[in-house]
Structure formats: structure tokens, C-alpha cells
């Protein structure tokens, strides 16, 4: 008798019959520190969805690679080990079997935005909606694109002339376009997950990195990088992903509450990022440990010359999205 009871219990459990009522927990894993823009936006989403669902949907925020890191968060969400992540657009190649079909790498092209003000052209941009329909397989659904401003070049040594870039070991996010950019500077690209960057700077296995000021400050890079040049040379955005099976199995009430919170969060996120990146510059200067400097004309000339080798890396599909996106900014 006992054996049948256990078997029946196992069958019922697997059918979710014993599952609690329709209370839902969203585990949200990300790789940056508390209070960075991405973390603040997760917390915003958490408060909104718990409000709109009357507490039936809860969010557990796992910052700073505390649950999963750059190397395993994409497989974690595909396998349902977490319900949401927001990796940077440079890391979306894992979502595509055909990497040449990944439109999000166009955001790695330098100077896609001339200044932070131009980032507003991404809000409700129809090209973004078209891009989201290309995400295939991996059991995830894209529910938003968040912004974290423009990347600045930091270094442990002064970079005044073009020759100062030669041979510098520069940490990059893992994209073929980022690699082509850094090589065109005469520097040496180093693909590292975000959680490894601070120690790589500390032990000098990298000389430089490229981050928005909010991440630079949030991860205390001012302790291990003496210079920060306001190059604004490329963009950092995030793909907000949800596990498809989780999404499809939500009750209509919980899905409506989550969707309402998603829509509102996507409206608020850009403002959170632009304010954080602005304040971070003052906070970095206040540490007295990193000199925040305008880049020299010579360095900016090298950076602008990297647009062509980066564009040359685009596939025909990516080039098509790139042109559409630039046209949409006009």
C-alpha cells in the first residue's frame, strides 16, 4: 500500500496538484552591484508587480552574480532555474544558433549615439520591436530593452596619445564586434565575465576597461583604475528576458499584473539609468582616487576610426537592422 501512496504523491506533485495556490515567485538574477541602474530597475519592477498582484507575485532579486554569473545565467533561465535575467546586449549571441541573425550586436558599433541625449530615440522605437521577434529557441521571451548609457574608457595608466593605446590589455564583453573595435585601437581585447573584472584590474591582468560610470562606481573600479576618460564611445543596453514556460503557465490574473508592471518598468528604466550615470561621475570624482578626464583629440580620432572595422563585422541581416535603427534616429 505504502508504495502506491508514494507513487501517487509523486505523480500528483509532478502535476503540481500540491502546488500552493497561484502565488508566484520570480527569481531575478543579474551580475551588477546593488544600487546600479539595472539593480534599481529590478527593485522598481519588484515593488510594482507585488503591488499590482496584491502580493501574489513576489520577486527575489539576486544581484552581483550571487546566483548565476555571465557564464551560466543564460542556460539557467533556459532551464527554468531562474525566471528572469537582463544580460547586456553584447551577451545575446547565446540566444541565437545562427549568430549572424542576432540583431542586438549592432548596439556594439561605436558612436551609434553621439551623446547621452540621443538615447531617448530608443524609447518606443519600432525597430526594437522588430528585433525582439528574432529571438529563437532557448525557451526565453524578450519583454524589454533597458538602457545603461554610454561606456567610458578607464585605465591604470594615462592614455593621452594614440600610441598609449598600443598593446593595452582591455577587458571587453564577449562580442566579435567588441573584439574588432579593441584590435583596431592597437590594443589587446580580454573577454572576461563581469564578476572577474575588479580582480583583473587589481592584479593587472587587464590595464583598461569600458563601462558606464554607474557600473564603474558601483563596482568600486575607482580603487583599481587611476583614469576615467569620458569617451562616450559605445552603448550599454540590456535584454530583459523571461523563461517562456513560466510565462505561458501564469494565471490570467498574475500575467496581467506582471505585464502591467513590465510596461511601467520599461517606461521608468531609462530615467533611472541617466540619473545614476550623471551622479556617478560626481561620486567618482569625490573619491579622489580616479581622475575623470576629457579624452584627447588623438585618442578620439583612433576611436572614431574603429567604426568601419566594427561595421565590417556585421552580417547582411545585422547591417539591415543597423541601417533601420540609424534611420529611425533621424
Cell of 183: 584590435
**Whose Cβ is closer to ligand LMR: residue 52's or residue 227's?**
227
For residue 212, how many other CB atoms are within 10 A of its CB? 24
Whole-angstrom distance, CA of residue 280 vs CA of residue 211: 12
Residue 169 pairs with which residues in a beta bridge? 188
Piece of the chain touching ligand LMR by CB under 6 A; list 30-38, 55-63, 105-113, 159-167 = 30-38
> What secondary structure does DSSP assign to 224-268, as a single string?
T-SEEEEEEEEEEEEEEEEEHHHHHTS-HHHHHHHHHHHHHHHHH
Query: Could you say which of 173, 234, 266, 306 contacts ligand LMR (CB under 6 A)?
Result: 173
**Least distance (Å) from ligand LMR to the CB of residue 215?**
5
211 lies in the binding site for ligand LMR (CB under 6 A): yes
**Least distance (Å) from ligand LMR to the CB of residue 214?**
8
Cell of 194: 563581469
Size of the site for ligand LMR (CB under 6 A): 9
Cell of 263: 510596461
53 lies in the binding site for ligand LMR (CB under 6 A): no
Cell of 214: 554607474
Asked if 152 and 229 touch (Cβ cutoff 8 Å), the reply is: yes
Query: Could you say which of 113, 146, 194, 227 contacts ligand LMR (CB under 6 A)?
Result: 194
Asked if 37 and 269 touch (Cβ cutoff 8 Å), the reply is: yes
Q: How far is CA 11 from CA 3, 6, 155, 198, 295, in A?
A: 12, 9, 58, 48, 64
**Least distance (Å) from ligand LMR to the CB of residue 14?**
35
Piece of the chain touching ligand LMR by CB under 6 A; list 31-39, 224-232, 257-265, 313-321 = 31-39
**Whose Cβ is closer to ligand LMR: residue 148's or residue 306's?**
148
Query: Could you say which of 53, 175, 187, 215 contacts ligand LMR (CB under 6 A)?
Result: 215
168 lies in the binding site for ligand LMR (CB under 6 A): no
32 lies in the binding site for ligand LMR (CB under 6 A): yes
Query: Could you say which of 24, 31, 41, 261 contacts ligand LMR (CB under 6 A)?
Result: 31
Q: Which residue is nearest to ligand LMR (CB)?
A: 88
Backbone angles phi, psi at 24, to 5 degrees: -135, 140
**Least distance (Å) from ligand LMR to the CB of residue 192?**
8
Whole-angstrom distance, CA of residue 251 vs CA of residue 41: 24
Query: Could you say which of 26, 28, 29, 38 contacts ligand LMR (CB under 6 A)?
Result: 38
Query: Could you say which of 29, 102, 148, 231 contacts ligand LMR (CB under 6 A)?
Result: 148
The closest alpha carbon to 240, from 209, 217, 268, 276, belongs to 268
Contacting residues toward ligand LMR, per CB under 6 A? 31-32, 38, 88, 148, 173, 194, 211, 215
Amino acid at each position: 500500500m505504502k508504495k502506491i501512496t508514494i507513487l501517487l504523491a509523486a505523480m500528483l506533485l509532478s502535476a503540481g496538484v500540491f502546488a500552493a495556490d497561484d502565488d508566484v515567485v520570480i527569481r531575478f538574477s543579474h551580475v551588477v552591484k546593488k544600487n546600479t541602474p539595472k539593480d534599481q530597475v529590478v527593485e522598481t519592477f519588484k515593488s510594482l508587480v507585488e503591488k499590482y498582484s496584491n502580493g501574489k507575485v513576489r520577486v527575489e532579486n539576486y544581484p552581483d552574480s550571487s546566483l548565476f554569473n555571465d557564464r551560466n545565467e543564460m542556460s539557467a533561465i533556459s532551464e527554468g532555474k531562474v525566471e528572469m535575467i537582463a544580460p547586456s546586449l553584447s551577451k545575446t549571441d547565446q540566444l541565437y544558433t545562427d549568430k549572424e541573425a542576432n540583431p542586438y550586436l549592432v548596439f556594439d558599433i561605436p558612436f551609434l549615439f553621439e551623446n547621452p541625449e540621443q538615447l531617448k530615440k530608443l524609447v518606443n522605437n519600432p525597430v526594437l520591436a522588430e528585433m525582439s521577434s528574432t529571438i529563437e529557441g532557448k525557451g526565453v521571451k524578450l519583454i524589454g530593452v533597458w538602457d545603461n548609457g554610454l561606456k567610458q574608457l578607464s585605465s591604470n595608466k594615462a592614455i593621452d596619445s594614440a600610441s598609449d593605446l598600443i598593446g593595452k590589455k582591455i577587458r571587453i564583453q564577449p562580442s566579435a564586434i567588441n573584439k574588432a573595435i579593441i584590435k583596431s585601437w592597437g590594443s589587446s581585447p580580454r573577454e572576461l565575465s563581469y564578476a572577474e573584472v575588479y580582480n583583473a584590474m587589481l592584479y593587472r591582468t587587464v590595464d583598461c576597461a569600458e563601462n558606464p560610470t554607474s557600473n564603474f562606481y558601483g563596482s568600486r573600479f575607482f580603487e583599481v583604475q587611476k583614469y576615467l576618460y569620458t569617451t562616450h564611445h559605445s552603448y550599454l543596453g540590456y535584454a530583459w528576458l523571461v523563461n517562456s514556460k513560466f510565462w505561458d503557465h501564469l494565471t490570467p490574473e498574475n500575467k496581467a499584473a506582471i505585464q502591467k508592471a513590465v510596461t511601467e518598468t520599461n517606461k521608468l528604466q531609462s530615467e533611472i539609468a541617466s540619473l545614476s550615470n550623471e551622479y556617478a561621475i560626481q561620486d567618482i570624482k569625490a573619491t579622489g582616487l580616479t581622475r575623470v578626464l576629457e579624452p584627447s583629440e588623438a585618442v578620439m580620432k583612433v576611436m572614431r576610426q574603429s567604426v568601419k572595422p566594427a561595421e565590417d563585422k556585421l552580417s547582411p541581416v545585422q547591417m539591415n537592422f543597423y541601417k533601420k535603427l540609424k534611420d529611425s534616429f533621424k
